[in-house]
Each structure stands twice: as structure tokens, then as C-alpha cells.
Amino acid sequence: MKIAYLDCFSGMSGDMFLGALVDAGVSPELLEKTVEALHVGARLEISKVDRSGITATKIDVFVNGEKELPRDEFFAEHEHSHENEHDKHATGPDRHHDHGPVHAHGRSLKEIKNLIANAAISETAKTTAMAIFQALGEAEAKIHNMDIDSVHFHEVGAVDAIVDIVGAAAGAEALGVDEIACSALNVGGGTVKCAHGVFPVPAPATVELLKDIPIYSSGIQKELVTPTGAAIVKTLVTRFGDVPAMKIETSGYGAGSCDIAGHPNVVRLVIGEAIAAQNFRPGAETRPSVVGHTTTETISVLEANLDDLNPQVFGYVMDRLLEEGALDAFGMPVQMKKNRPGMLLTVLCKPQDADRLTHFIFTETTTLGVRRRDEQRQTLSRRWVNVATPWGDVRMKIASMNGTVINYAPEYEDCRKLATEQRVPLKQIMNATIEAYSKTR
């Protein structure tokens, strides 16, 4: 299995990821053609730079002949241009790049998705890019307490971010890997200027996007993880943890805009062949991906035969096993020795939970032995979205393969709760949820 490992010891941004892709072997022509296909008046400039002694690939986005600025520089320049109106009319090399109003780049999620849908790029790249923007939209909607359709992207809707995201989607597909793993992310520190003011690092949208993802700060007073970078990681990465067991084939370094003294401001991408999937660090979290085919992981299977356990206790044990962290638990009627009817209890769990759950089975049941084996299982990439219904929001579980939605189903407990509270038939809520989600596809 071919895998990629993203080492974010200096954070992550869209341009850094593009640079790492090219440095690791993705064709620059592919990214340039992808940008041309967007028809947004943008082009890429690819160069080699030095970041604290590390040679890395730097990618800059030019829109209508002007270089797009990092967020801090953009807002600082915008404020300065309002304080010095005459600078707008200056000429020569010292003239400020007039970005106009801060919200001039504002685009709705629907507009961005239409732009991507009409681009002459692969369907997989389209789906991945839209998923990244969907993650950004959900984060913005959450922190601003508004409907996602009302969100207009100010920074992340700018042309450079669209280029970064669509380029990341096309480049990730070109890597040809089955999954992308990632280190914990160094988020930096200090403050950052946003469209809505000055905020501590990481910015609000970045915090929302990095939920359930391991982060830390090395103390550098810079925004090291941007919202765009966080959304790319959230969407593309399947695992977080230490470097997986792999045979390295190639690597690449993508440079950030700032050259930080004594610290190489780069992201490293390592590509190779996995030695064994189970050699990922135990406990490393698995997350959805729209790039890989399926996710392979090692699980433990626990089994016990029960022929003298009170059926009421069996039901209690099943419920408690799930509460204790089992991935799944189920029972099957079996005919045991001396023709006694019994139940075969089967528990699926993470290997690190097997000893604890085995102890629980011994404590709570009458069995004298628990069998254990480790097996490989493949799962579809999964993610959750909230779907609005007339009775309240319901979570929809969505399973994908190669970026294509294969299955989706409303969360039973959400539907059950609404049915009980609103006194509406359960099937009516479930059907309404599916219908509402189908309209958004």
C-alpha cells in the first residue's frame, strides 16, 4: 500500500502543501493546467527558496499580474491604504497593490462550488476540492452562528485560496497514494489579523477545523496553520500520529511565505510503501478521506461462548461493552455441547482496548474463556454533516470511496430523539432527513 506522511512541524498552509507536492514529484504542469482550468485570471510562479538551510519549493499565486499577499500583509496593507488615500494613485515600484475593500473577494459556497464544477479537471479532484470548501463553510457557519448558505468567504474565498485548494485536490490525486497520514500540527502563537479583527492564534475558523486533530505550539509567534491549511488536512488526512512504518521512495519540502530565523518554515511530505498497516502507532486516530480507496486498520476480535447466562444480563453486557469503547458487539444463537442452547458473544475493538474489555467480559458474564485474534478490516471513508429538518437537525453519516458517496444514512438516535420529543413517526423523520440531504448533493 502506497502512503504519504505529512510532517507539519512548522504548520500548514495551502501554498506550503502545493510546494511540497511539486517538490515530491507532482508535475508543475498539472498544477498550472489546473489553475488555467479555473478561469479566474490566476497563474503560478514556482521557485526554489532557502528556509533556514532547507531548500524548498515556493509557490506564489499571481492574479491579473499581481502577487496575492498572505493574510497578515493583506489586511495590514488594506488598513494602510485607507490611512494614506494618495498612495492609491501612486505609480512606480513603491505603489501599493490596491486590493479594494476587504470583502471584495467574498464568494458564497455555492458560487465556489459552481466555479469548481465547471473547471476542466477530474471528477475526483472536483469532489475533493468541494469537500475542502464544505469543511471551511461549516466552520465559518459555526463560529458566526449562521446558515452555511449565508456564509461568504472573505479570506478563504479569495482567488489564491481557490487556487490552493483546487491545486491541492488535483495534486493529492496525482500522488497516487492510498492514504495520507499526518503529524500533530504546530499552530504557532501570537495574534493574526482577520476580516473580523485581531484574534489569537490559531484563528477561530482554524480552531473549529482542527477539532479532534492533535495540535501543539512550539512558541513561535506566527500563525503557522491557516484555515485553508487546516481544511486541507481535515479533508485529506486519514491518520494522525508518528511516522508510519514505511519504505521511503521520495520526499518534498514546501516553503511558507515567512523565513523564520532559526526555524525552517516548511512542510515535509514523505512518500513510500507501507511495510505493514498495523505498524502505525497504536491509538493513532483514523479520520475520513476523499483521496484513498478505503482505510485499512487492525482490530481485535473477542469471542466467548455463553450457555448459562441470564438473557437480561446478556442485554446489559452488550450495552455496557459499547459504552466501554467497543467498536461493535453482537450475539449469535449457537447449539453447544450436551445440546444446550447458548449465545456466541463477539466484540470488535481497538487492539489497545482488548485487555480491558476481556477483563470486563470475565467480570460481567459466566464465561471461563475469551478467544482473541487480530484481523485487518477495510472501511469506507466516513464523515458527518448536519441536515436541517422541520423538527430539528439530524446528523447524516456519509460513506465515500474515491471521493464518491457510496452510502448515507441518518443517525438513528438523533431521529429517535426528535420523534419522541415532537411526537412524529420515526420513519417520517428519517425519510425527511434523507430527502433534505439528497437535495444538497
Domain residue ranges of the chain, discontinuous segments joined by +:
2-286, 295-379, 381-438
Q: Which of 64-78, 131-145, 185-199, 223-237 has the lowest mean pLDDT?
A: 64-78
Instruction: Give the range among 19-33, 117-131, 371-385 with minimum mean pLDDT.
Output: 371-385
Q: Quick check: bond before 227 cis, omega within 30? A: no
26-40, 127-141, 144-158, 353-367, range with the lowest pLDDT: 144-158
pLDDT band at 354 (very low <50, low <70, confident <90, very high): very high
- Give the model confidence (pLDDT) of 336-352 as tens digits: 888 889 999 999 999 98
Q: Which helix (H) or strand (E) holds 416?
A: helix 412-422
Q: Can you tell me the distance from the alpha carbon of 155 to that of 251, in angstroms, rounded to the nearest whole number? A: 30
Instruction: Say what the pLDDT of residue 403 is.
Output: 59
Q: What is the pLDDT of residue 69?
A: 61
Q: What is the pLDDT of residue 105?
A: 46
DSSP β-ladder status, 197-200 and 285-286:
unpaired
The pLDDT, as a whole number, for residue 279 is 41
- The pLDDT-based confidence of 195 (bands split at 50, 70, 90) is low
Options 3.40.50.150, 1.10.3720.10, 3.90.1150.10, 3.10.20.300; CATH of 381-438: 3.10.20.300
Query: CA-CA-CA-CA torsion for 326, 208, 225, 128, nearest 10 degrees?
Result: 70
Distance separating alpha carbons of residues 317 and 302, to the nearest angstrom: 14
* pLDDT tens digits, 413-440: 999 999 999 999 999 999 999 999 888 7
Three cell numbers written together for 327: 467498536
| Number of neighbouring beta carbons within 10 Å of residue 219 | 9
Helix (H, G, I), strand (E, B) or coil at 129: helix
Q: Quick check: 118 pLDDT over 90? A: yes
Distances (CA, A) of 233 to 251, 314, 342, 387: 18, 42, 48, 24
Q: How many helices (H) and strands (E) does the chain have?
A: 12, 22
Q: Which three cell numbers stand for residue 121?
A: 479537471
Which bin fits 2, alpha (ψ -120 to 50), beta or left (φ > 0)? beta
pLDDT at 66: 82
Question: What was the pLDDT predicted at 263?
Answer: 92
pLDDT at 339: 85
Whether residue 271 is predicted with pLDDT greater than 80 in this model: the reply is: yes
Dihedrals φ, ψ of 430, to 5°?
-65, -45
**Average confidence score pLDDT of the chain:** 84
Residue 84 has pLDDT above 60, yes or no: no
What's the CA gap between 254 and 266, in Å, rounded?
Answer: 5
User: Residue 7: which of 216, 282, 230, 242 has the closest Cα?
Assistant: 242
In this predicted structure, which of 53-57, 194-198, 232-236 has the lowest mean pLDDT? 194-198
Which pLDDT belongs to residue 349? 94
User: If DSSP codes are grouped into helix, strand and coil, which group holds residue 294?
Assistant: coil
CB-based contact 329:322 (threshold 8 Å): yes
Lowest-pLDDT range of 69-78, 292-301, 309-318 = 69-78
pLDDT band at 99 (very low <50, low <70, confident <90, very high): very low
Please name the CATH architecture into which domain 295-379 falls. Answer: 2-Layer Sandwich (3.30)
CA distance 137 to 145: 12
